[in-house]
Each structure stands twice: as C-alpha cells, then as structure tokens.
Amino acid sequence: QVQLVESGGGSVQAGGSLSLSCAASGHTYNNKCMGWFRHAPGKEREGVAFIYTGGVNVYYAGSVKGRFTISEDNAKNTVYLQMNSLKPEDTAMYYCAAAEVGPLECGFVAQDGFAEWGQGTQVTVSS
C-alpha cells in the first residue's frame, strides 16, 4: 500500500508556471509507474505524464509535450510535474497515481490499471 499526496497547485496567469509534487509514503514507491492525470469540468479525466521510478522512461500527452516535465527525487519518494507556458486549457484538478507495471508499459496503462490515487490539487490558469 502506498499513499500519495499532491501539492503545489494554485492560480496563475497564462504563460506562467507551476510545479506540482506528489509525495509517496509507504514502501512500494520504487519500481512503479507514476502518472499525473487531470480532470477538468465537462471533460474526461486524461493522462498527462508518466515516469517509471528508478528508470529513465517518461511519457507525455501530446497536449503538454514540450511544456511539462515529469521528474522524480527517489530519495524523497516524490514525483514532480513542472508546468511551463500554462494555458487556460490546462485548468483542471491534477492527480497523481501509481501502477504496478514495467518501465516499457508505463505510459500505456489504462486508467483502471492505476490502483493508488492521490486526493488531487487544483490548477487554474487565467487568460
């Protein structure tokens, strides 16, 4: 069992930046696929970025590629999402989640494959 807690959300103007953190507790953090998802009103929840902890495999949704960067600090059991050049379309509740899959599968896992989810952190981008 792993517990995930997101933080770092807030309100910014378009073009601004935010850095989200997902702190994992427990002893199952290593060798997991960690994903960031977002859910905006009126839209379906979508995957944003994924990283395999302890590896170099990262994946991004096309809508954020080049603007967002996912990374991890293994010593702190924390996954980050650096969001630059934010757009109003990025406004959503952002969640982190964990899936028990290998590094090559990470990024291609269905949402129901993520067994652990955080509580979410709100990101609001104003024009």
Distances (CA, A) of 69 to 60, 113, 125: 8, 22, 17
What is the Rg, in whole angstroms, of the alpha carbon atoms belonging to the chain? 13
- Confidence at residue 1, expressed as pLDDT on a 0 to 100 scale: 73
- Confidence at residue 29, expressed as pLDDT on a 0 to 100 scale: 67
Beta strand 92-99 with 78-83 is unpaired
- Confidence at residue 57, expressed as pLDDT on a 0 to 100 scale: 86
- Confidence at residue 95, expressed as pLDDT on a 0 to 100 scale: 98
Encode the chain (127 residues) as per-residue pLDDT tens digits: 789 999 999 999 999 999 999 999 986 667 789 999 999 999 999 999 999 987 678 999 999 999 999 999 988 999 999 999 999 999 999 999 999 888 889 988 889 999 999 999 999 999 9
Pure H helices in 66-120: none
User: Which residues have CB under 8 Å from 79's CB, separation 6+?
Assistant: 21, 22, 24, 34, 36, 51, 53, 70, 71, 72, 96
The answer to whether the beta carbons of residues 40 and 87 sit under 8 Å apart is no
Exposed e or buried b per residue across 6-44, where buried means at least 16 C-beta atoms within 10 angstroms of its C-beta: bebbeebeeeeebebbbbbeeeebeebbbbbbbeeeeee
Structure token pair of residue 124: 């609001």
